[in-house]
Amino acid sequence: MQTASIGLIGVGTMGSALALNIAENGHDIALYNLDPTTIDDLIARAGELSPRLTKTLDVKALVEALKPPRAVILLVPAGKPVDLSIDALLEHLEPGDTIIDGGNSDYKDTQARTKRVEAAGFRYLGVGVSGGEDGARHGPSMMVGGSPDAWEPIRPIFEAIAAKFKGEPCVAHLGPDGAGHFVKTVHNGIEYADMQMIAEIYGLLRDAEDRSAKDIAPLFHKWNKGPLQSYLVEISANVLDAVDPETGEPMLDIIVDQAGQKGTGRWTVIEAIKMGQSASIIEAAVGARVLSSERDVRQTAGELLGSDVPEGTIFDEDDLEAALLVGRALSYSQGFRILKAASDEFSWDLKYDKIAEVWRAGCIIRSAMLDDISKAFKGDLPHGRLILSEHFADLLKANIGALRRVVAKATLAGLPVPALSSAVSWYDEIRQPRGTANMIQGQRDYFGAHGFGRLDKDGQFHGPW
Ligand code: 6PG
């Protein structure tokens, strides 16, 4: 029975939520999962949407349940499970059918899979899906890569299920093959940086001022009503407010201080470096997660090396808010620069205003700032750099002092602010007309005769060493 408009392989947390979203938007969906009981559970709790969900027991049955031309979404863990699902589908699909990878795949894998699937006569889309379970259920932000031929037939369903910003669907076709997954990777890099800077601010209030989570929460609630308005500030306020039902203690005080990571933040940094770009704020955030996992070392080092937070260290709350705002603007700037590097390298012709628009609702980094970013990219940008737009240059000039004060005070108090301090250093580097690389060039020429340029004439020269 070919009745379903779309198929889904991978009915886990995200898959179940996306299936309900698709069903709610009027589409019948066929489902396949290695463990079929998750589909039974989903159908049992789907209520009036359950008639739109069809359980299938293997990939062949899934394909047979779909109206041609068929489209199947994969929401399986990145890596081998994606390739195995593609192998299984290729045995049963017909030319013109489309496979859509909605996981957090490495864009290079997506490029290779696009080639493989297209060579076999099928279509392929690599779609970055952001917003967690709630987003998948009620409207994710989606970043699409692939051929326009593959995208156009799928577009109506994806526009219907996407998050909306003032009525505009937060989904767009951004470029060919790996473009969507690359943009999602950089989204996650920015997500890491934002999360880390929020954690640093929380740490300053906790460790310098000895404030409880409950006492810090109202500050984040307040900030979420101003220029910092964003999903991550909102949920951080809620996390600060939460109480552990078992002990009655603040939930945050019970959670182990070791952060997990699945790799997308690290990928952003690796790709940035490969493309010759600085992602120092994102890198600091990845590094902080790595160091967080070495809990034993930190505890021994804390005992051996001691802590030196001076009594009475108090941070100005307005400075903390402004510091986070500047840090956020600078990490977005790094992220967009990496996108430009990839766009140039792969001739993707990414539209940065469009990307900012797709991120304005539904995704984890959604924030009030993204609307300003989109506007900035529509205007005239010196060197294409976000921080040089009138809006962001003004924002930085007005608030950089606060970031300096916060980083300086934290450093003097011996409290770690790796991402915030990377932000201020990057800002200072980028606005330094006469840098210090003349010394690097001198050293390189001294030990390796690598040559250098001169300010007073063209050509390559050597020093008198
Ligand atoms: C999103 C998230 C989502 C996810 C990642 C990040 O945009 O919805 O980025 O894709 O939470 O898995 O996870 P890690 O922190 O585990 O790397």
DSSP string, 14-47: HHHHHHHHHHHTT--EEEE-SSTHHHHHHHHH-G
| Active site (annotated) includes residue 166 | no
What's the 105 CA to ligand 1 centre distance in angstroms? 11
- Cβ–ligand 1 contact at 276 (below 6 Å): no
d(CA 369, CA 392): 10
Q: Of the listed 67, 94, 184, 209, which one is catalytic?
A: 184
Residue whose CA lies nearest to ligand 1 atom number 7:
130
- Cβ–ligand 1 contact at 130 (below 6 Å): yes
d(CA 222, CA 69): 50
- Cβ–ligand 1 contact at 292 (below 6 Å): no
d(CA 324, CA 340): 24
CATH no. for 433-465 = 1.20.5.320
Structure tokens at 97: 């059918």
What's the 196 CA to ligand 1 centre distance in angstroms? 14
d(CA 348, CA 155): 20
Helix segments in 347-459, DSSP class H: 352-358, 369-378, 390-412, 418-430, 437-448
DSSP string, 390-416: HHHHHHHHHHHHHHHHHHHHHHHTT--
Q: Of the listed 91, 118, 164, 191, which one is catalytic?
A: 191
Which atom of ligand 1 approaches the CA of 140 most closely?
8
pLDDT of residue 3: 87
Residue whose CA lies nearest to ligand 1 atom number 12:
262
d(CA 279, CA 186): 10
3-state secondary structure of 369: helix
- Cβ–ligand 1 contact at 364 (below 6 Å): yes
Which atom of ligand 1 approaches the CA of 104 most closely?
10
pLDDT of residue 344: 97
* pLDDT tens-digit profile, the chain (465 residues): 678 999 999 999 999 999 999 999 999 999 999 999 999 999 999 999 999 999 999 999 999 999 999 999 999 999 999 999 999 999 999 999 999 999 999 999 999 999 999 999 999 999 999 999 999 999 999 999 999 999 999 999 999 999 999 999 999 999 999 999 999 999 999 999 999 999 999 999 999 999 999 999 999 999 999 999 999 999 999 999 999 999 999 999 999 999 999 989 999 999 999 999 999 999 999 999 999 999 999 999 999 998 879 989 999 999 999 999 999 999 999 999 999 999 999 999 999 999 999 999 999 999 999 999 999 999 989 999 999 999 999 999 999 999 999 999 999 999 999 999 999 999 999 999 999 999 999 999 999 999 999 999 999 999 999
The domain locations on the chain are 6-177, 185-430, 433-465
What's the 188 CA to ligand 1 centre distance in angstroms? 6
pTM of full prediction above 0.75? yes
- Cβ–ligand 1 contact at 334 (below 6 Å): no
Torsion on CA atoms 364, 129, 114, 190, rounded to nearest 10: 0
- Cβ–ligand 1 contact at 102 (below 6 Å): no
Q: Locate tokens 């300096």: which residue?
A: 404
DSSP string, 222-265: HHTTTTT-BHHHHHHHHHHH-B-TTT-SBHHHHS-S-----SHH
Torsion on CA atoms 216, 221, 226, 229, rounded to nearest 10: 110
- Cβ–ligand 1 contact at 272 (below 6 Å): no
pLDDT of residue 380: 87
Task: Using alpha carbons, select from 67, 68, 69, 41 the residue that is nearest to residue 55.
Answer: 41
d(CA 422, CA 400): 13
pLDDT of residue 42: 97
- Cβ–ligand 1 contact at 285 (below 6 Å): no
Residue whose CA lies nearest to ligand 1 atom number 9:
188
CB 76 within 8 A of CB 82: yes
For domain 185-430, give the fold: N-(1-d-carboxylethyl)-l-norvaline Dehydrogenase; domain 2 (1.10.1040)
Q: Hey, what CATH class is 6-177 in?
A: alpha beta
Torsion on CA atoms 194, 167, 17, 217, rounded to nearest 10: 40
pLDDT of residue 308: 78
The pairing of strands 98-101 and 6-9 is unpaired
| Active site (annotated) includes residue 191 | yes
Residue whose CA lies nearest to ligand 1 atom number 14:
261
Which atom of ligand 1 approaches the CA of 259 most closely?
15
- Cβ–ligand 1 contact at 141 (below 6 Å): no
State which H helix or E strand residue 206 sits in. helix 179-209
Which atom of ligand 1 approaches the CA of 135 most closely?
8
- Cβ–ligand 1 contact at 196 (below 6 Å): no
Which atom of ligand 1 approaches the CA of 262 most closely?
17
